[in-house]
């Protein structure tokens, strides 16, 4: 009897080992998977363009760069370090802080030897989700489909001296114990010049423009409170990042305040409040907004253009905020978008911001401003 229990445990253990051994051989999964990756030599061949792209992007998700690079055609003409940097970014850009969360693959065209696939890439970033669309070319090499990756064009900037003649404002305290309020230093004079409240697909939004009417720069934030017929507050929100927070003297910025899941049918009034504080600032770097145009892309209305860094500084994370006006000059929408590539000195990068289809027909004019975030700069 003393040996019965140990003998039973040994027998059960052996039985489970046998079941596990033979069960693995007949399971639907791939043999050799460990921590979400196949062992070398066990990755199945991409027998179709869809399979090739899906396998390629899964390796990108896992940051298995060697295996992702192995999925490229020899006609791609790009070396592995350049390929990796194309996906991971550089120069402190938003891409360096992003990860590929998911993707969707849709075939566009295919023959027996070549194919074109459209992929929607869904990135997670510190500023929220970003979407990217790429059309990939594939070619059949033997029995396997391979992705043709375009060669990355790296800007080749000549050595040069760029003159610095911009305005700059600094804050100086008399000593560490000084307080701006104790010296009766007035806050910059900032004014809301327009406001428009509309219903949206997610709830409602309040938008318009704000101007710094002072001779000193201001850090600005706009708040709004929705009020019902009894004078009670329904919800209160701020402009968050849908505004150019640092306004130079006489500069105008659009703003938008979102109220998720709150419609305007029960709103009687909107209380607006603008907060402005003194802030150090400079008029550099200068970023030009070039070649702007509204076009239709995949059933959506999009404002596209280019950002040109006209300074000698690297702008790590450019942020575009665009206001759209009807034929009466009224702001009907404010949209924003981040560029996930750094703006190197004297170079440009494309940008795109989306306009809701329900409002696109009302847009007669638009204006874009650029926030810039640079490392080591307050």
Tens-place pLDDT, residues 329-341: 999 999 999 999 9
CA distance 307 to 246: 19
Say which CATH number the domain at 178 has: 2.60.40
Burial per residue of 257-296, b for 16 or more beta-carbon CB atoms within 10 angstroms, e otherwise: bbbeebebeebeebeeebebebbebeebbebebeeeeeee
Contact 326, 338 (CB under 8 A): no
Domain limit, last residue, from 229, 252, 281: 281
Residue 9 located in a structural domain: no
pLDDT band at residue 377 using 50, 70 and 90 as cut-offs: low
Q: Is 114 exposed, middle or buried (0-12, 13-18, 19+ CB in 10 A)?
A: middle
The arithmetic mean of pLDDT across residues 295-322, rounded, is 92
Sign of the alpha-carbon torsion through 119, 347, 314, 127: negative
Least confident of 157-171, 294-308, 343-357: 157-171
pTM of the model: 0.81
Residues 305 and 247 in one domain: no
Over residues 307-318, the mean pLDDT reads 94
Confidence at residue 181, expressed as pLDDT on a 0 to 100 scale: 47
* Strand-pair partners of 190: 212
Residue 2 has pLDDT above 90, yes or no: no
- At residue 352, does pLDDT exceed 70? yes
Whether residue 24 has pLDDT greater than 70: no
Structural domains counted in the chain:
3
pLDDT value, residue 183: 53
Instruction: Report whether 301 contacts 355 (CB < 8 A).
Output: yes
Burial class (CB in 10 A: 0-12, 13-18, 19+), 242: buried
Indicate whether 263 and 332 sit together in one domain: no
Residue from 226, 216, 158 nearest 187 by CA: 216
Q: Is residue 251 part of a domain?
A: yes
Domain membership flag for residue 198: yes
Domain identity same for 194 and 227: yes
Query: Does a structural domain hold residue 7?
Result: no
Identify whether 30 is part of a domain: no
Residue 334 lies in a domain: yes
Which of 87, 119, 148 finishes a domain?
A: 148
Judge whether 163 lies within some domain. no
260 and 355 share one domain: no
* Contact call for residues 55 and 69 (beta carbons, < 8 A): no
Which residue range(s) make up the domain with 210? Answer: 168-281
Whether residue 46 is found in the same domain as residue 136: yes
Same domain, 125 and 172: no
Work out the pLDDT band at 9, boundaries 50, 70, 90. very low
What average pLDDT score do residues 160-188 get? 74
Q: Quote the CA–CA distance of 372 and 343 in Å, as a whole number.
A: 10
Residues 77 and 148 sit within 8 Å (Cβ to Cβ): no
253, 281, 309: which is the final residue of a domain? 281
Token couple for 326:
């009807």
| Nearest Cα to Cα of residue 372 among 335, 319, 330 | 319
Number of Cβ within 10 Å of residue 216's Cβ equals 17
Domain assignment of residue 356, yes or no: yes
In whole angstroms, what is the distance from residue 369 CA to residue 181 CA?
A: 31
Instruction: Report CA dihedral (277, 279, 284, 288) to the nearest 10 degrees.
Output: -20
Token pair listed for 61: 């998700």
């Amino acid at each position: 009897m003393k040996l019965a229990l140990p003998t039973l445990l040994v027998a059960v253990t052996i039985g489970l080992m046998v079941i596990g051994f033979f069960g693995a051989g007949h399971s639907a999964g791939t043999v050799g998977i460990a921590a979400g990756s196949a062992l070398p030599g066990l990755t199945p061949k991409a027998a179709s363009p869809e399979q090739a792209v899906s396998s390629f992007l899964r390796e990108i998700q896992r940051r298995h760069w060697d295996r992702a690079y192995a999925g490229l055609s020899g006609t791609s003409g790009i070396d592995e370090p350049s390929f990796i940097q194309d996906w991971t970014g550089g120069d402190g850009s938003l891409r360096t802080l992003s990860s590929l969360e998911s993707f969707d693959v849709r075939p566009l065209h295919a023959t027996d030897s070549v194919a074109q696939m459209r992929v929607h890439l869904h990135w997670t970033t510190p500023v929220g989700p970003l979407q990217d669309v790429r059309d990939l070319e594939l070619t059949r090499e033997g029995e396997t489909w391979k992705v043709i990756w375009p060669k990355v064009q790296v800007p080749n900037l000549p050595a040069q001296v760029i003159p610095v003649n911009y305005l700059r404002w600094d804050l100086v305290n008399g000593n560490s114990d000084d307080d701006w309020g104790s010296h009766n230093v007035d806050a910059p004079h900032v004014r809301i010049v327009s406001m428009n409240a509309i219903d949206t697909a997610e709830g409602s939004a309040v938008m318009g423009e704000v101007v710094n009417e002072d001779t000193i720069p201001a850090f600005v934030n706009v708040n709004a409170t929705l009020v019902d017929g009894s004078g009670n507050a329904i919800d209160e929100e701020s402009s968050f990042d849908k505004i150019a927070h640092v306004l130079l003297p006489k500069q105008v910025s659009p703003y938008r305040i979102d109220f998720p899941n709150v419609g305007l049918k029960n709103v009687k009034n909107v209380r607006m409040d603008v907060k402005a504080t003194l802030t150090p600032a400079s008029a550099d770097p200068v970023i030009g907004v070039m070649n702007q145009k509204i076009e239709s892309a995949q059933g959506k209305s999009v404002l596209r253009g280019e950002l040109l860094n006209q300074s000698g500084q690297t702008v790590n994370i450019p942020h575009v905020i665009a206001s759209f006006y009807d034929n009466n000059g009224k702001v009907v929408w404010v949209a924003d978008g981040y560029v996930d590539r750094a703006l190197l000195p004297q170079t440009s990068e494309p940008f795109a911001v989306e306009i809701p289809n329900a409002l696109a027909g009302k847009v007669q004019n638009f204006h874009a401003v650029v926030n810039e975030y640079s490392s080591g700069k307050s």
